[in-house]
Amino acid sequence: MSAFFMLIIIIIIIIIIIITIPNNKPDIIIRDNEKGPCVLIDVAISGDRKVIKKEAEKILKYKDLTIEIQRMWNVKAKVIPVIVGATGTISKSFRKYVSNIPGKHEVKELQKAAMLGTTHILRKVLM
């Protein structure tokens, strides 16, 4: 192999390593080819006091991925954090985030699911 060809291969490998994005697996990706943005949804159940902090973490966590999706697919991309506290606590902006998700969603049902999951875990641990 020529030295020039080896140099090109090394440069390509370096570019691939630099471009990799560490947080590239959100829970749900919705991409509508005809209209609308690409939606990255990340769901979590957290402690009641950490709901707002978790929302901010999720948005920052996928910032690089949204930029890369916008560049590669030439569509707008946005992150929607769906964070519910263990006892059903939600943030003030939760309803706004959920309304951006396509389909029909009931906030009460999401809260109920979080609470039922918490009670199931507590029953298993305490009994």
Percent of the chain topping pLDDT 90: 31
∠ CA(42), CA(124), CA(113), 5° rounding? Answer: 35
Q: Give domain limits for the chain.
A: 24-126
Query: What DSSP string describes 29-81?
Result: EE--SSSS-EEEEEEEEE-GGGHHHHHHHHHHHTHHHHHHHHHHH-S-EEEEE
Instruction: Collect all residues with Cβ–Cβ distance below 8 Å to 28 and sequence separation of at least 6.
Output: 39, 40, 41, 42, 43
Residues 78-108: tens digit of each pLDDT? 999 999 998 999 999 999 999 988 888 889 9
Residues 58-85: tens digit of each pLDDT? 999 888 888 888 888 888 999 999 999 9
Q: CB count, 10 Å around CB of 66? A: 18
